[in-house]
Structure 1
Amino acid sequence: MVSALTTNVTHFFRENHHFETLRQVVLPPLLEEARRGGRVRLWSAGSSNGQEAYSIAMTIAELAPDFATLNLRILATDIDPLMIEQGAKGSYPAAALEAVPENLRKKYFRKEGEDYQVASNLRGLVQFRELNLHDRWPMRGKFDVIFCRNVVIYFAPAAQALLWERFEEQLTPGGYLFVGHSERVTDGKHSNLRTAGVTTYQLTNRTSRI
């Protein structure tokens, strides 16, 4: 029933300007921190079948070939268990890879029958978990980057405002929130989220990291 009622529109490198910001601005200092022994966490919320999470993973891998040695992980969550199962499997039809540059297709996918399998080292970077965004979030640590794109737009205004607040609380100081092209973060009275690009927000004025 959940699968029938949910919208699962996604593709690799959707809204590519976000991945350019990730590559050029967000990741370089995070990777430096990881190489100093720091913990870096990214969250793909409403990840559908994993194409967003693996797009993030490819962006990381291109900047940091040593990613497997770093304390760096991507959490991918979705309410639909079938999407989580497909994402964890990491197998996609050829048509799904049209937005993936050829050099990345050759490097991070291998053909298996009619489909293409994400490389095992890249799959190891991503953890898939079923999660309803309206429920309690079991994650203990905070995130340096959160992608939640084209998900919140389907919620009522009050639910949207609450989720923006919860995402803010889940970010580390200076952390980034990427939202969908039709979404805008509500300017709450006590919000520390500030515009940092096209549908991109950064958490400012926080002094502690958990």
Structure 2
Amino acid sequence: MYYSLRGTLIAADGRSAAVECGGVGYLCTVSAQTYSQLPEPGEEVLLYTHLSVREDAMELYGFSTQVERSCFRMLTQVSGVGAKVAIAILSSLTADQVAFAIMAGDSKALTAAPGVGPKLAQRIVLELKDKFGKGTAEFSAGSLSASAPAVMGKGNRGEAVAALAALGYSQAEAASALSDCADTMSVEDMIRAGLRKLSRNL
């Protein structure tokens, strides 16, 4: 119903932003990532919006990029992930980092968000792993920003991603190739498994 709002930022409090368009003020719930991109009150702002309609309420969500909105919508498709949980995830991680974690099978990264326990994080990865990178240009292999690998940390998986990237693969391709590897595997075994999977995709 509402694709975007372009108008004057009236106020923002960290969780929401009020935007005046044509004399009407619209209150949008925003993530911490979007909040950090907002201009000063009184300046023009553009937010891509999503209208959530429930039996008891209608709530408008605003995003600084279409990529973040797409990630929000994909997250809310998962059973147990409502709009508030999706916003919490996107407040803890950027959209690129969420996509990278899901493609890599790194459910632990998602637990950084309040309200996301290990079981829910694993469900998110399970239900969305095949959707990211397939038919969504925003999250295709090679399109993720350089900041995305930050979610991988310095563990074996992160070292294996770095090793495959050094061989010429994109970090997203490397992460996807390692998505089926158990966290307990050694770096060497992860690299071998990743290379086998990548060679089959050639």
TM-score bucket (shorter structure): under 0.3
The structure that is helix-richer by fraction is: 2
The structure that is strand-richer by fraction is: 1
TM-score, length-scaled by structure 2? 0.25
Return the index of the structure with the highest Cα Rg. Answer: 2
